[in-house]
Amino acid sequence: MLERLKLQVKEENVNKIINTTVLIVGLGGVGGYVVESLVRSGIGHIIIVDNDKIDITNLNRQIVSLHSNIGLFKTDAWESRIKDINPECIVTKITDFITKDNIDLIFREKIDYIVDACDTVLTKFELMKYASINNIKIISSMGTGNKLDPSKLEIMDIRKTSYDPIAKKLRKMIKDANIKNKIPVICSKEEAIKMSGKTISSNSFVPATAGLLITSYIINDIIDKELIYEEK
C-alpha cells in the first residue's frame, strides 16, 4: 500500500516509518484524523486509547463515526477500520480513561511518539510530564472547538501559544513542575467564537486539519526532514 509514498521517500525511510510505534490518546475529531493518516502513511504499530463510545453527536467531525456504528467503543471501531486499511498494522487497544493513577497502563510497550488528542487538562499534563521524564517525543493538541479557520493552526512550543485557555493552564502547570523540555503543540491563533451556552461548537475541517498537521509533523520527523515549526 506504500507504492506512492516510496515515490517521495527513500526506501530506508519507509522502513523507519513501518517500524515506528505511535500512541494516540483520544480518538475524537483530532485524534481520529491522526490515526487515519498515520495508518495510511504506513506506521507499523498504533496504540489507540479512548474509553468513549461513538455517539450521534460525533457524526459531524469524527471520521470513524457512522450511523451503522453508533454505540460501539471507538477503540473497537478503529481497530476494524485500521485492519481494513492495512491488515499488517499492529493495533493495541486500551479502552480506559487515563489518569495519573493508571498512566503506566499505556506505557507497557516501547513508544516512539505520543499524540495527545484528549480533552482532559490533567491527563494532558501527565502525558507531557511522562514524555519529559522518559525522553519520548510528544505532540499535543490544544483546543479546536469554537474555531472556524484551519489556516490559523500552527505547530509551536507550548510556551509560545496564545488565545487558547487549555494551553494557558498547561503553561502554568509545566512551569510549576519545572519541565524544561520543549513541548510541540498544535494550536490555533484564531480567537474562539464566543458562545452563549456551555456546549462547544465544532465542525468537520478544523479538527481534521489539526490531525493531519500532527501526522505531517511525525512523518517528517521520522524521515529527518526539517521540522514544521521553527524554534525562535
pLDDT of residue 228: 47
Round to whole Å and give the CA distance between 171 and 160: 9
**What's the number of domains the chain is made of?**
1
Answer whether residue 230 is part of any domain: no
Residue 7's pLDDT is: 87
Contact 193, 19 (CB under 8 A): no
Kindly state whether residue 35 falls inside one of the protein's structural domains: yes
Q: Is residue 100 part of a domain?
A: yes
pTM to 2 decimal places: 0.94
Residue 231, in any domain of the structure: no
Tell me the DSSP string of 53-91. Answer: BP-GGGTTT-TT--GGGTTSBHHHHHHHHHHHH-TTSEE
Give the per-residue pLDDT at 227.
Answer: 54
> Residue 225 has what pLDDT?
74
Residue 232 lies in a domain: no
Task: Classify residue 228: in a domain, yes or no.
Answer: no
pLDDT in tens, the chain (232 residues): 888 887 888 888 999 999 999 999 999 999 999 999 999 999 999 999 999 999 999 999 999 999 999 999 999 999 999 999 999 999 999 999 999 999 999 999 999 999 999 999 999 999 999 999 999 999 999 999 999 999 999 999 999 998 899 999 999 999 999 999 999 999 999 988 888 777 889 999 999 999 999 999 999 999 987 654 544 4
In a domain, 113, yes or no: yes
Instruction: Note the pLDDT of residue 232.
Output: 40
Q: Which range of residues forms the domain containing residue 47?
A: 3-222
CA distance 209 to 29: 10
The reply to whether 22 falls in a domain is yes
Task: Determine the pLDDT at residue 169.
Answer: 96
Q: What is the pLDDT of residue 226?
A: 60
One-character DSSP codes across 101-134? TTGGGG-SS--SEEEE--S-HHHHHHHHHHHHHH
CATH number for the domain spanning 40: value is 3.40.50.720
